Chain A
Amino acid sequence: MSVFINGIGLISPQQTADPALFLPDVMEYTADYLQVINPNYKEFINPIAARRMSRLIKMGITSAKIALADAGCQMPDAIITGTGLGSVEDTEKILTEMNAGEQLMNPTPFIQSTYNTISSQIAITLKCHNYNSTYVHRTFSFESALQDALMQFEEKVAANVLVGGIDEMTWNHLQITRRAGHWKTDPVNNLKLLSYHTPGAFAGEGAAYFLLGNERCLSTYSTLRDVKTIYNREKATHVEDAVKTFLSANELDVNQLDAVILGYNGDSRYDGLYDQLGSGIFRQTQQVWYKHLCGEYYTSTGFALWLGANILKHQLVPAAVRFNNPNPDRLQHILIYNQYQNINHSLFLISR
Chain B
Amino acid sequence: MARRVVITGLGILSSIGRNLPETVESVLASKSGIGILQHLDSPHKDEFPFAEVPWSNKQLLELAQLTDSLGYSRNSLLGMIAAREAFLHASLDKLPRLRTGLISATTVGGMDRCELYFNDFITNDSKNKYIDVYDCADSTEKIADLLGIRDYITTISTACSSAANALLLGARMIRNGQLDRVVAGGTEALTSFHVNGFNALKILDKVPCRPFDANRNGITLGEGAAYLVLESEESASIGGREIIAELAGYGNACEAFHQTASTPDGKGAFLAMERALNISGINSSAIDYINAHGTGTDNNDIAEGLAIERLFGEKIPLVSSTKPFTGHMTSAAGSAEAILSILCLTHEIILPNLNLKTPMPELRFTPVTELIHESDVSTVMSNSFGFGGNNTSLIFKKVSNPKFQIPNTK
Contact residues, A90-111 vs B (CB, 8 A): 94-96, 98-99, 103-107, 110-111
Known: A120-B388, A129-B268, A231-B150. A137 touches B128 (CB 8 A): no
Which residue in A99, A103, A120, A130 is a CB contact (below 8 Å) of B118? A99
Interface pair A129/B255, CB less than 8 Å apart: yes
Question: Looking at the complex, which of A4-12, A175-183, A211-219, A241-249 is the stretch in contact with chain B?
Answer: A175-183
A286 to B35 Cα, complex, angstroms:
63
A132 to B164 Cα, complex, angstroms:
13
B178 at interface by CB-CB < 8 Å: yes
Interface pair A110/B197, CB less than 8 Å apart: yes
Known: A136-B155, A176-B122. A120 touches B135 (CB 8 A): no
Closest to A152 in B: B172
Give A103-124 as 1s and 0s: 1 = Cβ < 8 Å from B's Cβ atoms: 1111100111111110111011
Known: A136-B137, A144-B154, A155-B172. A104 touches B200 (CB 8 A): yes
Contact residues, B150-194 vs A (CB, 8 A): 150, 152-159, 165, 169, 172-173, 176, 178, 192-193
A138 at interface by CB-CB < 8 Å: yes
Q: Which of chain B's residues have a CB closer than 8 A to the CB of A138?
A: 135, 137
Q: Which of chain B's residues have a CB closer than 8 A to the CB of A177?
A: 131
Give B310-335 as 1s and 0s: 1 = Cβ < 8 Å from A's Cβ atoms: 00000000000000000000000000
Known: A137-B140, A179-B131. A107 touches B169 (CB 8 A): no
Number of B interface residues at 8 Å Cβ cutoff, please give it: 61
Question: Looking at the complex, which of B6-14, B256-264, B280-288, B340-348 is the stretch in contact with chain A?
Answer: B256-264
Known: A104-B196, A129-B268, A140-B137. A95 touches B115 (CB 8 A): yes
B125 at interface by CB-CB < 8 Å: yes
A154 at interface by CB-CB < 8 Å: yes
B401 at interface by CB-CB < 8 Å: no
Interface pair A140/B388, CB less than 8 Å apart: no
A180 to B348 Cα, complex, angstroms:
51
Q: Which of chain B's residues have a CB closer than 8 A to the CB of A180?
A: 128, 131-132
Interface pair A133/B128, CB less than 8 Å apart: no
Known: A179-B125, A180-B131. A233 touches B259 (CB 8 A): no
A119 to B255 Cα, complex, angstroms:
12
A149 to B155 Cα, complex, angstroms:
15
Known: A116-B159, A180-B128, A231-B150. A132 touches B115 (CB 8 A): no
Interface pair B259/A98, CB less than 8 Å apart: no
Known: A98-B193, A123-B254. A133 touches B390 (CB 8 A): yes
A128 at interface by CB-CB < 8 Å: yes
A111 to B260 Cα, complex, angstroms:
7
Closest to B388 in A: A120
Q: Which of chain B's residues have a CB closer than 8 A to the CB of A124?
A: 256-259, 389
B267 at interface by CB-CB < 8 Å: yes
Determine how close the nearest CB of chain B comes to the CB of A59; give it in whole angstroms: 17
Which residue in A134, A137, A179, A233 is a CB contact (below 8 Å) of B158? A134
B252 at interface by CB-CB < 8 Å: yes
Known: A128-B256, A132-B390. A231 touches B156 (CB 8 A): no
A121 to B61 Cα, complex, angstroms:
39
